[in-house]
Structure 1
Amino acid sequence: MSGLPREVLKWLQSLDLTHSVKNTRRDFSNGYLVAEIFSWYYPQDIQMHSFVNGTSIERKMGNWQQLERFFQRHQLGIAKERVDGTIHCKPGAAIALVEQVYTLLTNRKVRKLEKTPNDFTDSSYQSQLPSYARSTASQAIKNNIAITELTTQPDRIVSMQKAQNIVDTHVEHRRQEREHNPERFGIRAGDSLSPRHATGGAEPKSVKDSKQQESQEHNTEGSSAVKEVEVSQPSKPAAP
């Protein structure tokens, strides 16, 4: 399933593209079909012999660099985040980009019931799953940071920031789960919702036991008195 609205699919079919759209993420990731779409409306600016229908990251980046220069020259307002998301096959990115291209070239708005998310992660899909089936923090990073992103963006600081944003989102979702369904996590009234960031309530049993043991040891040391021991010296023998 392409995931595109019906009117957008009919419009794409009318353009007689090289191949039909079956998988939106895969089919638009290299930019070749996007270039072919614009070549129908800007034949003088988009020459298809300059684009390669390949799957390697080098081919993809080469095609999209040409398209981005074209977008800037004509001030089309296609966001860099949507382009990057399409290149790296992020969820919803290719659909959002194609819908924007449809609106730009046909002056018609897409009728949609749901708004397309701008973060291009699987958070909307994860929210539909039951709590026990959702990804862990490490799995969320793996799902939302593609290998091609690390290849095209070698800056480790940027990659760490992306990973941290994903972890922060995951922690916030877990906090909301604890708040809305405390019974599942065994949280009683007055207990802290987050054991890592306690804001009140009873202390964990292990911490309480440790404190009690330290207090007992301290009291024992303080109450023990030091007793002096007198040692009698042996008397010297009398002189003969």
Structure 2
Amino acid sequence: MVARTAREILRWLEGLYLTYPVIIPKWDLSNGYTYAEILHAYFPKDINMFAFINGRSLNARLLNWTLIKQFIAKKNLPISIQLIDATLHGKDGGAEGLLEQTYQLLTNKKPFIDSPYERDESFSDHPYQQNLSYYEQAHASKSIKNNLKISELFTDPSYAYQAKRSQAILDQARADRQAMRTANPRRFRVKPTLAERCLRQPLQPDSNAQDWYLKSFDLRSRSVTSITNKSSSVKHQSRHTSANVPKRRSPSQQRSDQEQIEANEDNALYKEIILRQHAVPLGDLLQPIES
């Protein structure tokens, strides 16, 4: 949701008779002049309004907020410096959070905030984007523009910081895109992979792994015996149709015939081969089915 200001705070600001009314805190408090007037209403001897510049330039904003930080450090006021920096750069939720903290400090009252309108700790527009439709959400470049302000690049010209912030925004946008594709597979024509198609169903919670192995062996052995019976019947029919001419078999063919193992359930070697061919890790079988 879009960050909004509580009604008690708006009434409080109207009662201070500020020079410029606070309509959109994100923009009206960014230069620090209006916030200095709020503090001047409670500390008129400590705040000199003639020392502040009512301008929109970055130098004016930095000067005003530097004076405010010095006053906060002098009075030991419990006001967050992160909220001040977020308000200076015009980040989402920074000015609203600063007003809430200041209102609670100066009036000793806690404003009522709706739970759906709680703001992000990193002062990004991600909560707002999540409430939009998938065709209305910002793409990767727009997300970087919204969450990485130009004033941040001037005040902290570190290339490592810029790369880290940009990569974090891109990772979040990629994760949102993947979640969107998962939630709407028909729109994006997402096809299941071969591994997803071949996933085995986990073992039922009320069944035993040994019983499952025995049941699987019975099914496999029956299928193998049926296949061998069909092949032997086909060979028997072909022998009757063909002429009764004795054929000599090569030594390699005779050796392969001797090495063949008959499909017999009583044969221990045959049973072990079947279990090894169709064995499944016991850890995968014991995983409970997710409801």
Q: So what's the TM-score if we normalise by structure 1?
A: 0.74
Q: CA deviation at 1:201?
A: 4.5
Which residue matches 2:82? 81
Partners of 1:30 and 1:55 within 8 A in 2 = yes
Which residue matches 2:159? 156
- Show the 5 A alignment for 1:34-183: 34-114=35-115, 115-183=118-186
Which residue matches 1:227? none
Which residue matches 2:22? 21
Counterpart AA for 1:34: Y
Q: CA deviation at 1:45?
A: 2.0
Q: CA deviation at 1:177?
A: 1.7
Q: CA deviation at 1:88?
A: 1.5
Which residue matches 1:224? none
Identify the structure with bigger relative contact order (alpha carbons < 8 Å, sequence gap 6+). 2
Structure 2, gaps ≥5 residues long: 198-291
Provide the C-alpha distance between the structure 1 equivalents of 2:166 and 2:183, rounded to a whole number of angstroms. 26
Q: CA deviation at 1:70?
A: 1.8
Percent identity between the two aligned chains:
37
Provide the C-alpha distance between the structure 1 equivalents of 2:119 and 2:141, rounded to a whole number of angstroms. 25
Counterpart AA for 2:48: Q
Q: CA deviation at 1:128?
A: 1.6
Deviations 1:12-52 (A, max 9, x none): 11111111112211110001111111112122321111111
- Between 181-190 and 135-144, the greater mean CA deviation after superposition: 181-190
For the aligned residue pairs, the C-alpha RMSD in angstroms reads 2.0
Q: Which structure's CA Rg is the greater one?
A: 2
Structure 1, gaps ≥5 residues long: 192-199, 203-240
Counterpart AA for 2:164: Q
Partners of 1:52 and 1:63 within 8 A in 2 = yes
Provide the C-alpha distance between the structure 2 equivalents of 1:2 and 1:168, rounded to a whole number of angstroms. 23
Partners of 1:2 and 1:22 within 8 A in 2 = no
Q: CA deviation at 1:113?
A: 0.9
SS at match of 2:47: coil
Deviations 1:45-73 (A, max 9, x none): 21111111111100000000111122223
Partners of 2:3 and 2:93 within 8 A in 1 = no
SS at match of 1:167: helix
- Between 14-23 and 182-191, the greater mean CA deviation after superposition: 182-191
Cα separation, partners in 2 of 1:172 and 1:76, compared to 1, 3 Å: farther
Equivalenced residue count is 194
Q: CA deviation at 1:2?
A: 9.5
Which residue matches 1:207? none
SS at match of 2:135: helix
Provide the C-alpha distance between the structure 1 equivalents of 2:134 and 2:43, rounded to a whole number of angstroms. 49
Provide the C-alpha distance between the structure 1 equivalents of 2:93 and 2:100, rounded to a whole number of angstroms. 11
Q: So what's the TM-score if we normalise by structure 2?
A: 0.62
- Between 86-95 and 173-182, the greater mean CA deviation after superposition: 173-182
Provide the C-alpha distance between the structure 1 equivalents of 2:58 and 2:106, rounded to a whole number of angstroms. 28
